[in-house]
Structure 1
Amino acid sequence: MRNIYAFESQGDYIKYQDIIERFGAKIEKYQRIMVEDFELIDPPKGIVWTTEELATTVFSDIPIPAYTNKDVIYISPDLSTWRKLFIKQLDGHRNPKVEKFYENMSENQLFTIVAHELTHHSDLFLDEFDDEREDSIWFEEGMCDYLSRKMTLDESEFKEITEVELELVEMFKGEYGKHSLDEFGSGSYQGNLTSIMIDYWRSYLSIKYLIEVHANNDIKQIFSEYHNWDKEGRKVPLTEYFELNTVLK
């Protein structure tokens, strides 16, 4: 993949040059895993490294400065920006454990966001980039979170982000999490940051349960069941197919 720099000043480029270079080596390693094990056949042509402002106002109006399309990943490598953004997820509430985690969010945790966007390009996912992306988006988003974290974080880092997102779901499920995950789709970016992100947290935790409990850590089994659901004509919602509604509240 080619690195494309979209900064308005040379100072910004210099500021982020080191972290972009460090991420470059990690991207190559993660991409090899995806190619060998998860059918990454057509990777994106490049990554656009940019600022939060340009990512969310010029290249897109999505309020999160990381996204991908068929050809290009866009992301801000500014760790301080991400820390502030994730603190906003608390929606004015106080939670010392969650606040401490995001105030000290590591570069490794930021890299998982880059890896998440690359994971979207796996051919194991059913939806195409130009689809409406309804119906099973929770599966893809949750799997992108799970794989990017499981394959790049150490055990303690993986456990920590899982515990934080469990805490966040518990905090906000009464206010923002009453709907089915099957409603998570292309129209999901209408509310505030917390109402958007809770579906990502719930999707990740659902995939984690499916892989580690339902399939006894067999990721390929979950993909196989997901494909069977599609081949059978998507007769029931995917959460119902996986019987998630009976185990995850």
Structure 2
Amino acid sequence: MKNSFFVDTAQELAIYRQFAETHQSRLADYITFLKTTYQVEELPQVMVLANHRGATEVIHQIPIPAYTNDVRMVMTPELSVWKEVYLAQLENYPPSPEVEVLRQHYAKLSDNHLLQVIGHELAHWSELFMDDFANYDAYIWFEEGMVEYISRRYFLTDEEFAAEKRANQLLVQLFQAKKGWHSLNDFGQATYEGDMASIFYEYWRSFLTIDQLVETLGSVEAVFATYQKWAEQDTTIPLLTWLMDQGLLTRAL
């Protein structure tokens, strides 16, 4: 996978190149891990390290500066950008102890979190995800939650993983207190038309649901095996509903 750059200044280019060179070995090891553990057989042809404007306005019009398709993966490798993206979730919440905890959490992000975002996008290439179904919205939460879990476990320290999990729990609580609850089955393409809080709400619930399943079943591999069992039975039943019917999830986030 080659690197390409979308920048506006020579300074940005130098910073992005330094990021790629500094983390080249860790990313190569992660790709090997994905290939040997999660059946990643192909990768994007190029990883485009793009500034925020390039990622969200020029290459693609999308609010979150990280995404992938069959040809390329795009990601903005700047902590300051990602801190602003994550803090945008808090814009419509009044000051509170929970909001202050979240602000402090995002102030402490490290390069591990940037690598985790890249890891999230690359894990989408796993052949274990059956993304050829017509009813993809029935389980989009599973894929998004799983790639988030896999990449966090790989790149974050135990302390960072626990802090990120706690932050997600707080964000889910804040969102539901303000806007109410709806089923994770509603996670679909329409999700991306909402504001940052509503988009990330679905991602964080997806991650937390996968975390529940791993705790219940004992491993990521066991969760994938259960997912494949559902796929072999009746995919007209939403995956979340099927898992609840099987008693594998005791509550809906």
SS in 2 for 1:189: helix
SS in 2 for 1:86: helix
* Runs of at least 5 residues in structure 2 that lack an aligned partner in the other structure: none
Letter in 2 for 1:215: L
Q: Please name the residue that 1:239 is paired with.
A: 240
**CA deviation profile, 1:142-186 (whole Å, cap 9, x unmatched):** 001000001122211111111111111111123346221111112
Q: Please name the residue that 1:19 is paired with.
A: 19
Q: How does 1:100-249 map to 2 (within 5 A)?
A: 100-128=104-132, 133-176=136-179, 178-212=181-215, 214-216=216-218, 218-243=219-244, 246-249=250-253
Q: Please name the residue that 2:63 is paired with.
A: 63
For residues 158 and 32 of structure 1, what CA distance do their matches in structure 2 show? 22
Residue 23 and residue 215 in structure 1: after superposition, are their counterparts in 2 closer, same or farther (change >3 A)?
Answer: same
Residue 72 and residue 107 in structure 1: after superposition, are their counterparts in 2 closer, same or farther (change >3 A)?
Answer: same
Moved more, 182-191 or 108-117: 182-191
Residue 75 and residue 211 in structure 1: after superposition, are their counterparts in 2 closer, same or farther (change >3 A)?
Answer: same
Identity of aligned residues (%): 31
* Runs of at least 5 residues in structure 1 that lack an aligned partner in the other structure: none
Paired residues of 1:7 and 1:13 also in contact (CA < 8 A): yes
Letter in 2 for 1:97: V
Residue 176 and residue 198 in structure 1: after superposition, are their counterparts in 2 closer, same or farther (change >3 A)?
Answer: farther
Residue 187 and residue 132 in structure 1: after superposition, are their counterparts in 2 closer, same or farther (change >3 A)?
Answer: farther
For residues 204 and 179 of structure 2, what CA distance do their matches in structure 1 show? 12
SS in 1 for 2:91: coil
Moved more, 238-247 or 6-15: 238-247
For residues 178 and 228 of structure 2, what CA distance do their matches in structure 1 show? 33
Moved more, 139-148 or 95-104: 95-104
Q: In proportion to residue count, which structure has more helix? A: 2
Residue 135 and residue 50 in structure 1: after superposition, are their counterparts in 2 closer, same or farther (change >3 A)?
Answer: same
Q: Please name the residue that 1:99 is paired with.
A: 103
For residues 65 and 24 of structure 2, what CA distance do their matches in structure 1 show? 18
Deviation at 1:118, TM superposition (A): 0.3
Paired residues of 1:177 and 1:199 also in contact (CA < 8 A): no
Deviation at 1:131, TM superposition (A): 6.7
Residue 225 and residue 236 in structure 1: after superposition, are their counterparts in 2 closer, same or farther (change >3 A)?
Answer: same
Paired residues of 1:176 and 1:195 also in contact (CA < 8 A): no
Paired residues of 1:117 and 1:144 also in contact (CA < 8 A): yes
For residues 236 and 190 of structure 2, what CA distance do their matches in structure 1 show? 22
SS in 1 for 2:109: coil
SS in 2 for 1:47: strand
For residues 15 and 217 of structure 2, what CA distance do their matches in structure 1 show? 44
Letter in 2 for 1:229: W
Residue 143 and residue 164 in structure 1: after superposition, are their counterparts in 2 closer, same or farther (change >3 A)?
Answer: same
Moved more, 70-79 or 84-93: 84-93
TM-score (norm 2): 0.92
Moved more, 76-85 or 227-236: 227-236
Paired residues of 2:65 and 2:76 also in contact (CA < 8 A): yes
**CA deviation profile, 1:42-68 (whole Å, cap 9, x unmatched):** 122110010011111011111000000
Deviation at 1:219, TM superposition (A): 1.2
Deviation at 1:97, TM superposition (A): 0.9
For residues 47 and 143 of structure 1, what CA distance do their matches in structure 2 show? 21
Q: Please name the residue that 1:42 is paired with.
A: 42
The list of structure 1 runs, each at least 4 consecutive aligned residues, that deviate by more than 4 angstroms after superposition, is: none
Moved more, 86-95 or 150-159: 86-95
